[in-house]
Structure 1
Amino acid sequence: MEIDKLFGLPAHPLLVHAPLVFTPVLLLCVVLLVLKPGLRERWGLPLVGFAIVLAGLCILAAGSGEKLERRVVETALVEEHTELGEQLRNIAIALAALTAAWIGALRYGAGRAWLQRLATPLAALVLLGAVTATVWDVRTGHAGAKAVWKEVGDQPAPVGGEGDGD
């Protein structure tokens, strides 16, 4: 899904902030539910919903980035950011599916030994997926910031003249 503009502004810089914030939050929630089994009954389904929403936000961010990419100068930094964003989108989709499978195995595993045996390996995969998503989230955001601000940051600050606050 590609969104070009929101409120008359390029959508991508607005949409990317949701995955940047929510991916590490999802990791914290996963860690909590892995370490505190008593919370799984109440918070398992909301965790699945959160993972699905995060995947949707990553899809929107990647789609808006594809639209924006057509309007900016293609550089190695832009290409790196684009590739990492597409990878993050795919990781988030897989993480949502794994989270649903894990919570499903926990909720519906009673009386089904094969399903109960899957719960622990699925929990490990969800935890690994959430860590991977968070690492990719940071890498993607950093690459995007470099693509936008590298040249600005390489310029010396103006000295004296107008607007220096004196």
Structure 2
Amino acid sequence: MSDEIQTAAEAHEASALPCARVVHTAPDAPMTAELQPLPDALAGEPVEEKSPAQWAYERLILYIKNFEEQLDDEHEVAMGFAGSDVGVMRIEGIGFFAPDIVTFYGRDDDEARTQLIQHVSQLNVMLRALPKAREVEQPRRIGFRLAADLDRK
């Protein structure tokens, strides 16, 4: 325990900062979402004022954006379903319904519209790189669009 005394303002500011850490086997591993600074839109609102769904949604955006930053122009982000054999979904949208629901929208391997509605206590997401859809010239980057939406708060 620290012997440092904090002012009320310092304690309040510290409560808004997430606690995160990551370790990789490779010293040259790409930058991870845990190590990047939070966008102003996320850092400005204390964590305890957010519902579990909102906080999960906002952190998922950071992970997806970071994942996309490491993809080439021939791939897009998709998610695999942890613990099941239902395949993958190309992520086209993400939402939340406070206090505890996160929703993913997209298309499956057969291009059928797909939606996953998940309680935050069951949240498991595996991000995957899939070849971009044939009908699009440029890969779609949902993480960047989601991050831009956070900045509009």
Q: Verify same fold: TM over 0.5.
A: no
Task: Give me the TM-score of the superposition, normalised by structure 1.
Answer: 0.26
Q: Greater helix share, 1 or 2?
A: 1
Q: Greater strand share, 1 or 2?
A: 2
Q: Which of the two has higher C-alpha Rg?
A: 1
